Chains A and B, each alone.
Chain A
Amino acid sequence: MTATPEKIAGVVRPQLERLLAEGGSFGDARFYAEDANQRLMLYDGNLESNTRTDEQGIGVRVLWHGAWGFAATADLDAIPACFDRALANARAAAQLPGFPKDMGPARPSKGEYVAPVEKDPFDVPLADKLAFLKGLDEQLKGEGIAQRVVSARFQRRRIHYWNTEGTEVSRRVMNTFATMMVMAPDKDGRTQRRSVELNSDGAGTRGWEWLADENCFAGHAERIKQDLAAILAAEPLPPGRRDLIILPGQGFLQVHETIGHALELDRILGYELSFAGGSHVRPEMIGKLRYGSDKLNCRAGVTANSPGTFGYDDEGTPQRDYYLIKEGILVNVLSSRTDLGEANARAGREVVKESGTAARACAFYRTPIDRMTNINIDAGPDGTLDDIVRATEDGIIVDTPVSWSIGSNREHFHFGTEIAWEVKDGKRGRVFKNTTYQGHTLEFWNSLDKVGDESTWKLQSVPNCGKGEPNQIMELGHGIPVMRFKNVQTGEKE
Chain B
Amino acid sequence: MLEPRIRELLTRARDDARKRGVSAEFNLHREKSSLIRLGNSSVALATHEELTRLDISVQDGRKVGSFSLTADVTADQLKNALGHAEENCRAALPKDYEPIFGTVEEPVDDSAGFDPELESLSPEAKTGLCAAVIKAVKPKGAYDFSGSWSTGSTEMYYITTANDNEAFRKLTDGRLVLVLKEQQKKWELSVERTQKAAGAFTAGDIIAEFESLLPVYEGAEGFRTAVGRQRVLFGAQAVAELLGLAVWGGFIGRLYEEKRSYTAGMKPGDKLFADAVTITDDPENRDVFGMPFDFSGKRRRRFTLVENGVLRGLLYDTMAAAKYGRKPTGHDLGNDDFVLAPGRGEPGLDAGCKLAGDALYIPHLHYIHLPDPTKGLFTGSSRFNALRLQGGRFTAPLFSTRVTDTSPSVFGNVVALSSKNVPVNTSSTYARRSPTAVSVPEWLLCDNVRITDVADSF
Residues of A within 8 A of B (CB): 42, 45-48, 50-57, 67-77, 85-86, 88-90, 92-99, 101, 125-127, 130, 134, 146-147, 183, 185, 189-191, 266, 269-275, 277-278, 280, 342, 365, 367, 402-409, 411-412, 414, 416, 434, 436, 438, 440, 466, 469-473, 492-493
Contacts and interface: CB of A to CB of B under 8 A. Distances in A.
A273 B96 CA distance: 47
B291 to A, nearest CB: 20
Contacts, number: 271
B221 interface: no
A368 B65 CA distance: 33
Given A93-B123, A190-B374, A407-B400, A126 B91 contact: yes
Contact of A269 (B40, B68, B368, B453): B40
B249 to A, nearest CB: 11
A469 B35 contact: yes
Interface of B: 33, 35-52, 64-72, 84, 87-89, 91-93, 95-97, 122-124, 127-128, 130-131, 134, 144, 146-148, 150, 177-179, 181, 186, 188, 190, 258-260, 264-265, 319, 323, 366-375, 379-381, 383, 400, 402, 404, 428-430, 452-453, 455, 457-458
A492 B128 CA distance: 49
Contact of B131 (A95, A404, A440): A95
Nearest to A362: B430
Nearest to A494: B450
Contacts of B38: 96, 274
Nearest to B186: A409
A154 to B, nearest CB: 13
Contacts of B453: 412, 414, 438
B147 A71 contact: no
Contact of B130 (A96, A273, A440): A96
B402 A470 contact: no
Contact of B371 (A45, A403, A471): A403
Contact of A270 (B93, B144, B374): B144
A71 B373 contact: no
B371 A436 contact: yes
A92 B39 contact: no
Contacts of A274: 38, 146-148, 177-179, 190
Nearest to B128: A95
A68 B95 contact: no
A299 to B, nearest CB: 26
A55 B70 CA distance: 5
Given A50-B64, A190-B375, A405-B380, A125 B91 contact: yes
B68 A434 contact: no
Contact of A89 (B47, B51, B150, B366): B47
Given A101-B44, A403-B370, A53 B68 contact: yes
Nearest to A185: B259
Nearest to B227: A493
Contacts of A266: 39
A99 B258 contact: no
B455 A47 contact: no
B386 to A, nearest CB: 11
B37 A271 contact: yes
A273 B51 contact: no
A317 B154 CA distance: 36
A438 B259 contact: no
A95 B124 contact: yes
